[in-house]
A and B are shown apart, each in its own frame.
Chain A
Amino acid sequence: MSAANQLAALIANMFATGLLDDQFQQLQMLQDPSAPNFVSEVVTLFCHDGERIIGELAKLLDKPTVDFDRVDAFVHQLKGSSASVGALKVKNTCIQFREFCQQKSKDGCLKTLETVRINFYELRGKFQTMLQLERQVNGFPPNN
């Protein structure tokens, strides 16, 4: 299978399994010869941002007394950026997460953080594959 075919199949699969929604298509529409790397740039920024936020959430939830307002603020950030890139599954997990913040449930928050972590890293892995395939399609050798 050519890199282009693999890339198309991967993206189709991500839509089919609910990882991505139509906002991602909006991003694809914004990429053109004047901004040929737009999608990979946004996706990369999202991945770095998401990792940073998950780290902050872990720290905040590790404290004996949890500041749920701060936790909520970070989850809100992650929810926002996932919505912007079309990361549907991560966004939905953030919505659940915020409910536990409202309820001030440390247990609920910790469990949902785990789910966010799993969903985020699943998405990130697929994004990384996507970007590698895109590089190949554009004529660059795959990164190691």
Chain B
Amino acid sequence: MAVVATERPFHVLAVDDSLPDRKLIERLLKTSSFQVTTVDSGSKALQFLGIHDDDASTVSVHAHQLDITVNLIITDYCMPGMTGYDLLKKIKESSSLRDIPVVIMSSENIPSRINRCLEEGADEFFLKPVRLSDMSKLKPHILKSRCREHYQQEQQHQQSDSNSNSNDCSNPTNKSSCDSSRKRKAEDNGEILPQKNRPRHS
């Protein structure tokens, strides 16, 4: 019998120290059918995600243990204390969080800043003020990372010689897009590498 998954909206964690900006990003995300949590600092973001600031790379409570799933993190760049870039680094250093797509927002169009973020693994860079049209760029990153995750899970199942059951995909509606992207990836060898290698940005 096929597993019927309840269609839950994707959950975005938005990080911004400015209150008006938090209000705006929250509304933009909700209008685009995302579930939203907003926090006002990088350290609060890490707390919410379940890691301890000082030892992010070694001690990490898996987000699933706390029954919280975050599908994407969108963060301001300029924040006091921990910048968006610092937060990005911590996320990418964490084995439990590194697969979550991260988007950086900034009011300043500084190419070296943008490149630094992309090189560190940010999936997208938005110039502020963020607009409704920017929201459509978020879902592809979420779906891409979920497909990668499902593909890796499939790989692991195959390697352990258990029955590879394509019902692994918890969301049936994504199954076809996962299958087709898996087929594409089988042809294009570059993308099959495990997440650690981060082949996207050289």
Contacts and interface: CB of A to CB of B under 8 A. Distances in A.
Do A and B come together as binding partners?
yes
Interface of A: 23, 26-27, 29-30, 32, 35, 38, 41-42, 45-46, 48-49, 73, 76-77, 79-81, 83-85
A81 B28 contact: no
B20 A30 contact: no
Contacts of B24: 27, 30, 42, 84-85
B190 to A, nearest CB: 38
A45 B129 contact: no
A77 B76 CA distance: 12
A81 B31 contact: no
Contacts of A26: 129, 131-132
B18 A77 contact: yes
Interface in B14-68: 18-21, 23-24, 27-28, 30-31
Nearest to B17: A77
B153 interface: no
Interface of B: 18-21, 23-24, 27-28, 30-31, 78, 80, 107, 128-129, 131-132
Given A35-B30, A38-B27, A80 B132 contact: no
A83 B27 contact: no
Contact of A83 (B19, B80, B107): B107
Contacts of B28: 30
Contacts of B27: 30, 35, 38, 42
A83 B128 contact: yes
Given A30-B31, A76-B78, A49 B132 contact: no
B29 to A, nearest CB: 11
A85 B78 contact: no
Contacts of A42: 20, 23-24, 27
B20 A45 contact: yes
A83 B18 contact: no
Contacts of B107: 76, 79-80, 83
13 contacts: A26-B131, A26-B132, A30-B31, A35-B31, A38-B27, A46-B20, A76-B78, A76-B107, A80-B18, A80-B128, A81-B19, A84-B18, A85-B20
